[in-house]
Amino acid sequence: FFFFNDTATTEIYTLSLHDALPIYICENGALVKYQGKTLSKTYMDRKTGLEIMEDIQKRDGCEVLLSGEETSYLVPKSREYLDHIKNFVGNNVTLVKDFSEVEEEFLKISVYEKRGIEYSSNYFHDKWGGSVKDTVSGACWMDFVALGVDKGSALQKIQNELKTTKDDTMCFGDSYNDLDMFKNSQYSYAMTSANSEIRAKAKYVTTTVESILYDVYQVLSR
């Protein structure tokens, strides 16, 4: 039995109560790591990625976050945004003068809009939705990854690696980028803080992850 807990940038896998073996689904499924090795890595087309980031930078009120394997790349418009990513989100940050300087391939591109991503989500979806997979991932965030990449397909890769199925999987999530993960989990939980559409897609709703895991602990300890 294993569970996935959405922690903003990763989901954490635990095999049993006695042996914690972490699996990380990162960047909306573009990167999957297990016991220190990479199970899968799916990059965006570099030319398309650069065009998306240029578009984001030109739009008023929007900032870019480019995700690599070990760091986030920024060309911040404001000091406030830099502080937000480093000190509130807690990302490892690398500053560059231009995103074309980044040598590694692009895993995920995110747009941040402080006033709310609803002001720009339709614009970006209409313009780029046919070239990449776009997902609203929070009140102020929208993510872009390669077509075919999502947390659900990443979860399937893990299930195949461990020779298990959705019937043995529990997951927790609170945003649109978790919906594909819900589909591949028998026990899908939305957080009560999620909006009504997210809650409706999950089989169950919970206020805290810990309360559900305590119940699981009680069952497995019998």
β pairing state of 72-74 and 93-95: parallel
pTM summary value: 0.80
Q: What are phi and psi of 24, to 5 degrees?
A: -120, 120
Give, for all 222 residues of the chain, the pLDDT tens digit: 444 544 444 343 344 434 445 678 889 999 988 877 888 899 999 999 999 999 999 999 999 999 999 999 999 999 999 999 999 999 999 999 999 999 999 999 999 999 999 999 999 999 999 999 999 998 999 999 999 999 898 888 888 888 888 888 888 888 888 899 899 899 999 999 998 999 999 999 999 888 887 787 777 777
